[in-house]
Amino acid sequence: MYKEGLFHSWIPKPVQITLMFVLALPLLTVSGIYTANISDMYSGLGTLAETLTFANYASTVGMMVGIGVVLKIKPYFKSKVILLITFIGLGLLSLIIGYTEIPEVIMLCSLLLGFIKIFGMIELVSPIMFIISPKGDRGAFYAVFYPLILSAGQFVGYLTATTSYKLNWHVVYLIAAMILFACALVCTVFMHNKWKARWTPIQKIDWIGVGLFTVASLLLNYLLVYTKQQGWFYASMNLKAALAGFVVVVALFIRRQLTVDIPFIPLSVFGKRNVVTAIILFSLMGMYLATSTLQSAFTSILKYDTPTNALLNLAMVPGIILGGCVASRWFKYEWSTRSILLIAYGCFLLYTVSLYFLVSPVIEIAYLLLPIFLKGLGVALVYIGGGFYFANSLQPMQLMGAYPIVIGIRSFIGTAFFSALFSWGLYQLQWDGITALATEMDAMDPWVQASGGAQLYPSVQTQATLTAIKRLFGYIALASTLVLIYIALHPFYRLQHRKLILARKRFKGEPIAGYRTDSFDDKDIAATAVSVST
């Protein structure tokens, strides 16, 4: 059994650390759909934007499923084998997505990509955890790793948008495949092929539960993404059938999990207050992540191209880094959970209020940097603070049981739900604005005739769109005030008091099973790795 790391012993330690990050960054940022160049993709493929949005969320569904089985399959394979299969598989899937013209193939590849990706991330993130925090301090690790990954995602978005704009969106996937294959070559040359832990056979997996969970997630994906395009439920039999299927499959899944000996997701963990609170917080964060829909509509009026939009989103990076610094001080001085969440959602409130007053047909891009910066700061603090609060009081198996749902809420369901809501609101308010503006217009009016009747509609549409965007940001700002009130009144666990409880129990010689500290150890390292990998 080999416990010295992933690489051969003859490789210097600094080189080993460098190689871990070199392998981890491409793995953590690779995706079936790069949202920064999604407009170029659906234009080139001649398909609906909803098709690629569905594929994008399908990748998250694949990761949700992978979380539930990774720890049961992982001990059966050596680390080198897992990483080689991961990088080669992701490289092949990237090539297929880059060259296929069939939307259904892109959806399937995105689903498989998310599933395969989680296996490699566990292998790389686990040792990186102790590189960043040798003492096993969970908070110190979160404060460094989350900003690193969130910032890397923004840089990758800018690079993919620029590459797609200057060359072609196919080139993005070709470059991604080349990088992944190069990572596979690095693994072949520098990684040892020894067991890191004792070999164990594959544990029992509830494959029926896995199947039901996958089908339910994909049906929910369809419902959230295609509602506007399908004309909502009163006009689409497909949506009605999908809703009925979703309800039936969820009922079967819940019944299965309550009766099977080893459930895919133990539902009892969702009775814990911190898990429910984390789900609510991550759902509410989706409201602000979904404002990218409104931001895109606004910047399209300002005539920003794709690279400019991606460059604008880079303003989130300083906010994300500042969020890591604030979180580090928070963990050092053991501030309350409520304080960091109030700061986070306060930043979101300032972000929406700022954009509410900035919406206009002509504006300098520099004025948009501060709101985007505040958005990045809020996202980083919710990821770190919410994730820490969620994981701090759960045992490893409870963590793994709750992660598929919590990660799905954070990365898929919350954002998809509010995106659908904002798309519907934007559409309805646009037509309300057009109706209101056109009510007093008359084709015989001298001003209308002088401006040219055919050229008048674009001006009316632009003004109606700006009005709709402004109203939606106003509604979000009002909702943000309610969120802040909820956080201020919510009874959070006092994490610093739990340390006193643990110390008192240890002093009395009482068992502490069921209590968690704010550090990770060998027992929950894999569970912690999963939490930051998605």
Q: Which of 28-42, 75-89, 454-468 has the lowest mean pLDDT?
A: 454-468
Contact indicator for 7, 131 with CB cutoff of 8 Å: no
Average pLDDT over residues 451-478: 79
For the stretch 213-264, pLDDT in tens is 999 999 999 998 888 777 776 777 888 898 999 999 999 999 988 888 888 8
Distance CA 371, CA 367 (A): 8
Residue 127: predicted pLDDT:
82
pLDDT at 507 over 80: no
Instruction: Name, of 200-204, 348-352, 459-463, the range with top average pLDDT.
Output: 348-352
Whether 202 and 72 have beta carbons less than 8 Å apart is answered as yes
pLDDT at 477: 94
Q: In sequence order, what DSSP letters do the residues of 352-370 get, joined into one string?
A: HHHHHHH-SSS--GGGGHH
- Output the CA torsion sign for 344, 346, 348, 354: negative
Distance CA 143, CA 180 (A): 27
Asked if residues 281 and 382 have their Cβ atoms less than 8 Å apart, the reply is yes
Which of the residue ranges 53-62, 335-344, 391-400, 439-448 would you say has the lowest mean pLDDT? 439-448
370 compared with 134, residue with greater pLDDT: 370
8 A C-beta contact, residue 323 and residue 346: no
Average pLDDT over residues 43-55: 85
- CA dihedral 428→433→434→436, nearest 10 degrees, is 130
In the predicted model, what is the mean pLDDT of residues 49-56? 89
How confident is the model at residue 200, as a pLDDT?
52
Least confident stretch, 41-50, 79-88, 395-404 = 395-404
The answer to whether 381 and 326 have CB atoms below 8 angstroms apart is yes
Contact 476, 291 (CB under 8 A): yes
Evaluate whether 33 touches 201 at the Cβ level (below 8 Å).
Answer: no
Instruction: Return mean pLDDT, the chain.
Output: 82
| Greater pLDDT, 509 or 47 | 47
Distance between CA atoms of 117 and 59, rounded to whole angstroms?
Answer: 9
d(CA 414, CA 531): 17
- Measured on CA atoms in the order 10, 14, 15, 21, is the torsion positive or negative? positive
Work out the pLDDT band at 309, boundaries 50, 70, 90.
confident
- Provide the pLDDT for residue 285: 92
Q: Which residues contact 452 (CB under 8 A, 6 or more apart)?
A: none
Q: pTM of the prediction?
A: 0.86
pLDDT of residue 523: 46
Closest CA to 195 of 82, 81, 78: 78
Label residue 514 by pLDDT band (50, 70, 90).
very low
Q: For 20, left (φ over 0), alpha (ψ -120 to 50), or beta?
A: alpha
pLDDT tens digits, 168-203: 888 999 999 999 999 999 999 888 877 665 555 556
For the ranges 139-148, 444-453, 468-477, 513-522, the maximum mean pLDDT occurs at 468-477
SS3 191: strand
In the prediction, which pLDDT does 443 show?
58
Contact 300, 293 (CB under 8 A): no
- Write out the two tokens for 80: 């080198």
The pLDDT score that the predictor gives to residue 528 is 55
Per-residue pLDDT band at 139 (split at 50, 70, 90): confident
Q: 403 and 59 in contact (C-beta within 8 Å)? A: no
Residue 522 confidence (pLDDT): 46
Percent of the chain at pLDDT > 70 equals 84
* Buried-exposed string 227-264: b where 16+ CB fall within 10 A, e elsewhere: beebeeeeebeebeebbebbeebbeebeebbeeeeebb
| Domains of the chain (ranges, CATH numbers) | 1-193+500-534 (1.20.1250.20), 265-493 (1.20.1250.20)
427 φ, ψ to 5°? -65, -45
Tell me how far CA of residue 60 lies from CA of 18, 63, 112, 405, in angstroms. Answer: 28, 5, 10, 11
Q: Give the mean pLDDT of 55-71.
A: 87
Three-state SS at 298: helix
Q: How many of the other CB atoms lie within 10 Å of CB of 452?
A: 8
Q: Which of 111-120, 232-241, 253-262, 475-484 has the lowest mean pLDDT?
A: 232-241
* Look-up of token digits 């494959």: 207
Q: Can you give the pLDDT at residue 516?
A: 46
Rounded CA-CA distance 53/455 in Å is 33
**pLDDT by residue (tens digit) across 1-40?**
344 577 888 888 888 888 888 898 898 888 888 888 888 8
For residues 125 and 213, the model is more confident at: 213
Round to the nearest angstrom and report the end-to-end CA distance of the chain.
Answer: 29
- What b/e string do you get for 356-379 counting C-beta neighbours within 10 Å, with b at 16 or more? bebbeeeeeeeebbebbbbbbbbb
The dihedral over CA atoms of 287, 293, 298, 303, expressed in degrees to the nearest 10, equals 150
